[in-house]
Structure 1
Amino acid sequence: MKSLVLVSSKTGNTYKIARYVQKGFGCGCDLKRTTEKYDLSAYDTVLVGFWLDSGHVDNDSLSVLKSLYYKKVGIFGTLGGDPQSEAAAKVMQSAIAALKEGHRGNRLLGTFWVQGKISKQVLNLMYEKFPGLKEDPKHVERIAKAAVHPDAADRLKALLKAQYWQEKALKIKARG
């Protein structure tokens, strides 16, 4: 069973988590960025990591999800907001919908989110658009909470989810 972690990462948060997904999935699991050359036909399992881009799956990852046929697929993402939020759930549902669009025979192994720090560039754009946001206590608290992620618990979560996905993928393969 040949496996690939394919990751899109703007700030490095998603790439950090992708390395733990690769480690958790075990031997024979390659790690590549969506910007590198890769041949999806060489893999039967693809684990796609994406970052939240203005409330959406980033375009590179969305293209990957829409290009997969007859693969076992895990999907994970990073975001500056609350991974348990309704907004995060909606974005993950859109990622799943992209994977399943057109009935291309893919098997979803599972999904997960982890929080990541928000880049200064993104924060500056937010503050240009919404100058009062800097003074909003809820926003300030959210930024402070995100600044320490991904943390050790996030890395462990990625490792354990990947181990679970590997077991699930092996069971699917055994069943044929």
Structure 2
Amino acid sequence: MKTLIIYSSKTGNTKKVAYGIYEGLKDEYDLSIEDMDNIKDLSLLDDYDTLLVGFWIDKGTANSSAKKFIKNIKNKNIALFATLGADPSSKHGQDVIKNMNKLADKSNKLIEVGIYNGLVDPKLLEKLKTKPPLFLPKPILNKMISAGEKSREPNEEDMNDAIARFSKALKKVS
């Protein structure tokens, strides 16, 4: 069974998780890894039985290019992973999981979903502090800033969870 890990990463968090999964599982499974931005022809996906697709979270769901990419995947075993600037175990994190479960086309078999910590882009955090969007209510803005200040890069615990989670998922479809 050939598996492709595909990722979309803005600040390096999702790339770090993708490569953590790859390094942790490459000796056990037939894996390849690719940056989503480098995939110009979706026919490349025809060579793979299973896709592990990673992305960063924007407004509670996959970033727009990843969302579009995922919608175009058909008839595959698919697993999704994401990085999030808020605590993955928070209510927002749980809402993100629900949204992730709705991303893949119904022709796919969704085998696993996981979210991991991601450090919020310091430029975005500074922008929220100095030039907040006018449409954003103050309490929500303050929550976003607070979560951003507490955010962190994916760590060893995140990597170990991702490796275990996706190894178990791949075993199910092997």
**In the alignment, is residue 48 of structure 1 matched against residue 53 of structure 2?**
yes
Corresponding residue for residue 132 of structure 2? 129
Q: Which 4+ runs in 1 deviate beyond 6 A? A: 130-133
Q: Give, in whole Å, the separation in 1 of the partners of 2:30 and 2:7.
A: 17
The alignment partner of 1:129 has SS state of coil
Higher helix fraction (1 or 2): 1
Contact 1:62/1:98 (8 A) holds in 2: yes
Are the counterparts in 2 of residues 24 and 158 from structure 1 also a CA contact under 8 Å?
no
Q: Identify which of 129, 152, 156 aligns with 2:160.
A: 156
**Superposition deviation, residue 73 in structure 1:** 0.8
Counterpart of 1:10 in structure 2: which amino acid? K
1:84 shift after superposition: 1.3
SS of residue matched to 1:118: coil
Q: Is 151-160 or 23-32 further displaced after alignment? A: 23-32
Equivalent residue runs for 1:4-153 within 5 Å = 4-26=4-26, 27-37=29-39, 39-100=44-105, 103-104=106-107, 106-127=108-129, 128-129=131-132, 139-140=145-146, 142-147=147-152, 149-153=153-157
CA distance in 2, matches of 1:92, 1:40: 24
**Cα deviation code 1:115-173 (max 9, x no counterpart):** 1111111102211207988xx69954x344313x2111111111111211221121xxx
Distance 1:138 1:88 in 2: 13
CA distance in 2 between partners of 1:18 and 1:138 (Å):
25
Question: TM-score, normalised on structure 1?
Answer: 0.82
Q: Which residue of 2 aligns with 1:174?
A: none
Aligned residues: 163
Tell me the percent identity: 26
Query: Contact 1:22–1:162 (CA<8 Å) still a contact in 2?
Result: no
Unaligned runs of 5+ in 2: none
Offset at residue 46 of structure 1 (A): 0.3
User: What is the alpha-carbon distance in structure 2 between the residues aligned to residue 111 and residue 166 of structure 1?
Assistant: 12
Q: Give the alignment's Cα RMSD to 1 decimal.
A: 2.3
Runs (5+) with no aligned partner, structure 1: 171-176
Please give the alpha-carbon distance, in whole angstroms, between the structure 2 residues aligned to 1:109 and 1:54: 24
> Could you tell me how far apart the structure 1 residues matched to 2:113 and 2:61 are?
15
